[in-house]
Amino acid sequence: MNCFITGGNRGIGLEFAKQLSEKGHHVLVGFRNPESADKLKKIIPIENHLLLNVNDEQSIINMATNLKSRVNHLDLLINNAGIIGTRAGLKKVEMKDHLNTFQTNTLGPLFVTKHCRSLLGKGSTIANISSLMGSIDDSSGGAYSYRISKAALNMVTKNLHKDLNSKGITVVAFHPGWVRTRMGTPIAPVSKKRSVRGMLKVLDEQNDLSGKFINFKGEELPW
């Protein structure tokens, strides 16, 4: 199975790379900073490291061209690259932070998918790493930039499902849980290993995922 992961040099993305590689799959990863890939080098051959800044469409285009020179199809595209933003509430939210967070978390996955579209076909899966904080049904408030960007990513997931389901392509939004990463903080209750193992199990075992918002335990969530 050919797999491509954005933001695959640390956190949840790195754990996806590790577990998929251990399962024997062909894993390629995209990330912005080669100097932060020491752990990844121990897991994935350096020739499968692709430079990618999801905030820059030309970088996405260059990555996709590079990817197409290495594989002729993708079985699994994991749109994982994301940022938390400033976690600001109403009084402190800033336009610049909001735009940067939105561009990374929402437009990044959309344009990565757009430029990788020719590699996706019947049986392929697109997994967008979202968050329960993007659920409009979630009422805890705050973190405007992050919440809005993930709610919009959920709409991207729905739209892609409508466009691609007839082609046999699955598109699903995942809530990975509150995970112990740099973004999730050390007090988060879910380990990276448990979160990723759960999401991969869902992808392996559940057949009717497309157009849904699912947590790492396989439970459907409200949009």
Structural domains in the chain plus CATH codes: 2-215 (3.40.50.720)
Model pLDDT, residue 52: 97
pLDDT along the chain (223 residues), means of 10: 96 96 97 89 95 97 97 98 86 90 98 98 98 90 93 98 98 91 72 95 95 97 96
Q: Is 71 exposed, middle or buried (0-12, 13-18, 19+ CB in 10 A)?
A: middle
Which residue from 96, 69, 66, 97 is spatially nearest to 84, judged by alpha carbons? 97
Token pair, residue 152, equals 């919009």
CA distance 207 to 223: 20
Model pLDDT, residue 190: 85
Q: Is 145 exposed, middle or buried (0-12, 13-18, 19+ CB in 10 A)?
A: buried
Which residue from 216, 115, 206, 208 is spatially nearest to 165, judged by alpha carbons? 208
Model pLDDT, residue 9: 93
Model pLDDT, residue 184: 64
